[in-house]
Structure 1
Amino acid sequence: MSLKYVMEVYELLDDLYVTGEDVKSYLEGIDGIGEITVQTVEGKSGSTDFVKVTIPGENGKASGGDAPTLGIIGRLGGIGARPEIKGFVSDGDGALACIAAAAKLLDMTKKGDRLKGDIILTTHVCPTAPTLPHKPVPFMDSPVDISTMNRHEVAEEMEAILSIDTTKGNMIVNHKGFAITPTVKEGYILKVSDDLLHIYMQTTGRLPVTLPITMQDITPYGNGIYHINSILQPAVATKSPVVGVAVTTETAVAGCGTGATHPADIEQIVRFVIEVAKQYGEKKCSFYDQAEFDRLEQLYGKMNHLQTLGNQVRTK
């Protein structure tokens, strides 16, 4: 079961001394088929280890096939805020879900259930990240900026992206579990994917929950505009469709809060992203309607200027 890997990865990450190499060793111990890379990147507030896991599919493009490639990104500031705060923080749930999904996918591959398409999973590991003031509750910051994260986490090969991010520090979604966003592509907020809604219901046994997003949320960090969080920041760095998978709670919980990770909720997310990966690789799951997107651009033009910092005005 996926829950086994959620629990194992939680124990692995809940450690002041954990590194990306520890994650790599853990995953390689499950199955050696995946290509796992670790890169340490220094930032203004410390360093973090970016982890990238590529799991080749039966008919994946890495081996000359035509099955589409899904990207799964575990988005976060850090898994810990030490020494200020001790323990694994709520913000680390994105990395936890992403790495647990990688572990389960590797286990499935070892047991003969190799998916059709390639899967690329990326996240980063930083147990000593700084915090950041934010309303209604504080955010976790990161030792590296968003553009650096996107360079290391958004791969060109990803033809569609699921971005998993803790989204508890708000009063917008009052649901314990997870929610999905509308699809975002090249500056457009598109309708919520029917296929993803069906997979949500299949994996949770409940009616789907969606996260409302605004134009502000799909613009890049650094423009001085309010964002609900960084869940859709991958969308500013790609032409591929991006859907946020938000870890949610009924109450507003700070990203730097400890004791706030709910393994059963993370396990649901792991099952959800794996089911999406199965169906996407088999071309049975669509993130958006290509004809409708083309019609939108024909009628209203391109909106990719929203993927930039816009017309910045310097003040003396």
Structure 2
Amino acid sequence: MRHLLAAGMATLSLVVLAACGSPEEKSVHFTAAGDIGLGEGALAVLDTVAELKPDFNIALGDFPYEPGADQEFCDMVTGELGADFPYQLLPGNHESDGSDGDIKKLAACLPNRLPGLQGDYAEQWFVDVPQEEPLARIIVVSPGIEFPDGKLDYSKGSDRWNWTEKAIDGARAENIPWTVVAMHTPCFTMGRYACAAGESLTNMLISKKVDVVLNGHEHLYQRTHQLGFSDRCEYMTVKTVEKRCVVDTGDSMTQGRGTVFITVGIGGRTPREINRDDPESHYFASWSAGNHNSTLGTLDVTATTSRMDVKLVPADGYTFSDSFSIRK
């Protein structure tokens, strides 16, 4: 039996947390996963999302994996989560150019449902959640993604680079506690792909001390240590190990020291193998793939004014999990 989110979850809500007489804190709760498809794996992950009852979900790209199946994908999502649930899209390489889905058609049947969104939904946008007294700014960008008229330019100094930088700086200027950037393509990876996100853009996100960067594309789960810059490490080069840029290897981190990169390409498609001998493996704290603790599932994130708790929740039938926290 499939689990549907209650109608009350259709609009972003705040959860009130209380602990042992301490002051109550408001929170925002969201999930995130990409590389989904139309099979039983996708349904199992959507069931997990429904059981978690988040305020919204960030879908990290690559959706039906079939041409002409956009409405079928939308019907699957709304059938599991409800017609008004905020299932927020960013494009993957399969549907951005219309080859295995069409991002415009998907955005029409799974439209933005978060108030105050700025930018071009399902391409490049940001939103503060909740809209009043926000706890987090979610920033979506699309580097390395091929659209019908070509790839979007996120090179240093470009309009889209400047837009991204301004969105990050704006969150800090408005004293929004947490900044999350989401895009389909990762840079650091133990999987099969190169740094499609771009080395310069990735370094900019680290220099800005974005709290968490979320990716899909690789059909696996991988989570880095907290990576950051200092006088000892001022830039990170793809496929070259910069051990001094690893600022925290624990599971309880301090905000402002660096950035955690998480690939959650386990939304339904069969996991691929990971290369544990990849030079960048030194950056990673946790991983799951077809040849190591294979799992499907969703990232589950809760943020308050003082901390962000992040965990990987496996779908039914899987056991691998991961968790960490970032504190003020």
TM-score normalised per structure 1: 0.34
More strand as a share of residues: 2
More helix as a share of residues: 1
Higher RCO (C-alpha under 8 Å, 6+ residues apart): 1
